[in-house]
Amino acid sequence: MAHIIELTDALSNKIAAGEVVERPASVVKELVENAIDAKSTVIDVLVEEGGLNKITIIDNGVGIRAEEVSVAFKRHATSKIKNEHDLFRVHTLGFRGEALPSIASVSFLEMTTATGDGAGTKIVVEGGKEIEKHSAQARKGTEIQVSNLFFNTPARLKYLKSLHTELGNITDIMNRLALSHPEISFRFSHNGKSLLKTNGNGDLQQVMASIYGLAVAKKMIPIQAESLDFKLTGYAALPEVNRSNRNYISTIVNGRFIKNYALVRAIQDGYHTLLPIGRFPILVLQIEMDPLIVDVNVHPAKLEVRLSKEAELGQFIASTLKAAFHKEQLIPDAAPSKRQKLASEQLAINFDKEEEPEEVVVEAPKPVVTPTYSTAPKTQMELPTSDALPDEDPLFINEDFAAYDVAPKMEEAAPVEVPKERMPKMYPVGQVHATYIVAQNETGMYLIDQHAAQERIKYEFYREKIGEVDRELQQLLVPIVLDFSTDEFIKLRDQKAKLEEVGVFLENFGQNSFIIREHPTWLPKGEEESTLRDILDEALTKPQVSIHKLREDAAIMMSCKKSIKANHYLTQADMEKLLDTLREANDPFTCPHGRPVIISYSTYELEKMFKRIM
């Protein structure tokens, strides 16, 4: 039997490095977070060859005293917590005291630091062993150089990706840190080429402009809400600006970027029916809460946290986003815009590292009406500019949509009452291909997808009716008998209580059959049996869903199947009635699947297309 021994500090640090230092991006994250905790206002990050050759972090923080420099490289040595009480009220990004010794154990590390009270100190550590330490001239702050990463752990080197991928991971970390701390000036370069520069003036929208591009930043709306337990601030992209994955959702808790699936799901709920299936928003959400209800001591990397009021926070986020979008008129402008060039290399190394943004080119249809209204262009609020901001968006947005006025800065945003009529009054003048209604008003021309419009109207009707507890039931003159396979019969029998919540009342009627004797009065007349069968098919397809999800899916399914389709000619009265009813909808701008209902061509844009104005 093997003897139990105590591992050496060097071996313990290598083991810890396996959790803390997975790749060059981990080194950057840990060292920059240390710089942030040191009250730095300017942080420079210089990377060579994707971080595999050298990583340099320079800050102007408080520095380390000469007598404490060696102690900083001992495991679990930290200035951030003193006792067990502090562990449950962590106000800093780091607190475990593992990062510096773990990094030093698998690299060559040089650190020069000074507190501003005399000479500084330089220390050299190779593979966890202190090689030299002496006084050195240095300005206040700390400079750390990490080279030959994983030189003594070749197995770790084997699992690293390409230089391009590793640089992409570092860029991702730097972007998240910059979004988390707009009050700090970050300067990030690779092989001498600047990739990110923020001015540290606290303006989150400027930071977003430097990362996502000016065009995307102009399409963000401010988010601001507060409850007894939580304070939310940040910016959310209008639904028209979306991406193919969740990488553009940044959730920040007490200044710490975190990954939390429940919060991402809450954000998606806030965009419910506003985004197409498989598309995700761009959003930066800063959440402030009592550190006592946040457990950051879950994983050494500190990306995962536990929230003791996670469900309440999720509901608050979803309701806040829904309220914010309800104040906006979400009619995208379909006028063709000039394709924007890439402003930097960031497209290749940003959050979407392996997937090119989808390009959609919209051809302007021939105008049906010649407008005669005012041609004055609408004015737009300009973002403050700096050398750090690219002039053009480095990430293509969907060209189906054109620029909105930029959202006002959060501190300037006054409370806005929800307008009674979000959709402007417009007058139909015809159809295109018996599918799109052409309408106009004094501001320009609109195209309305007639199927999507009625789908939205019927969805809101069915969703409200299905959700009612006290439903009026109507007896069927001839009960409906439905036969199923044994497997289907068992599944539906197990879901009888759930189905009754959406208005379907099943009675056993012989082997593998049900009889329905009554139905809700809101079912479409003459289509009762087909609608009930559709609901049962939905339940069979998704037997494990909650009552809430079944109601939602049933409402979407019925609204889609029962709405007018493409290639369906409408009379003038039909079009007027459809648009008037659509104006009464809570969210008239997208169908339940998130596709746009209306797009617009302003009079100014039409006249520019016809060269009436230059």
Q: pLDDT for 459-502, tens place per residue?
A: 888 887 776 544 677 788 888 888 888 888 888 888 888 888 77
Question: Could you tell me whether strands 306-307 and 280-281 are parallel, antiparallel, or unpaired per DSSP bridges?
Answer: unpaired
Q: What are 487's two structure tokens?
A: 């497997």
Residue 549 pLDDT > 90, yes or no?
no
Q: What is the DSSP string of 346-408?
A: HHHHSS-SS-PPPP---PPPPPSS---S--PPPP-PPPP--TTS-SS-SS---TTS-PPPPPP
Q: Do domains 9-197 and 423-588 have the same CATH topology?
A: no
Domain 203-420 in this protein, CATH class: alpha beta
pTM of the model: 0.66
The tokens for 342 are 């890439």
For 9-197, CATH gives 3.30.565.10
Enumerate residues 6+ apart whose C-beta is below 8 A from 345: 193, 195
Coil/strand/helix, residue 535: helix
Summarize pLDDT for 56-80 with one digit per residue, the tens. Answer: 999 999 999 898 888 888 866 565 5
Give the Cα separation of 431 and 423 in Å (integer): 20
Q: Which residues contact 48 (CB under 8 A, 6 or more apart)?
A: 54, 55, 190, 191
8 pLDDT exceeds 50? yes
Give, as one character, the DSSP assignment of residue 260.
Answer: -
423-588 CATH, one of 3.50.50.60, 3.60.15.10, 3.40.50.2000, 3.30.1370.100: 3.30.1370.100
Three-state secondary-structure class, residue 6 = coil
Domain boundaries, the chain: 9-197, 203-420, 423-588
**Least confident among 228-237, 298-307, 564-573:** 298-307
- Closest C-alpha among 223, 293, 225 to residue 253: 293
Residue 150 burial (CB count, 10 A): 19
Work out whether strand 249-253 and strand 283-289 pair parallel, antiparallel, or are unpaired: parallel
Helix (H, G, I), strand (E, B) or coil at 27: helix
What tokens appear for 396 in the block? Answer: 């293509």
| Tens digit of each residue's pLDDT (9 = 90 or more) over 171-207 | 999 999 999 999 999 999 999 999 999 999 999 999 9
CA distance 397 to 406: 15
Q: Measured between alpha carbons, how far is 456 from 526 in angstroms, rounded to an integer?
A: 22
Reading the block at residue 267, the tokens are 């954000």
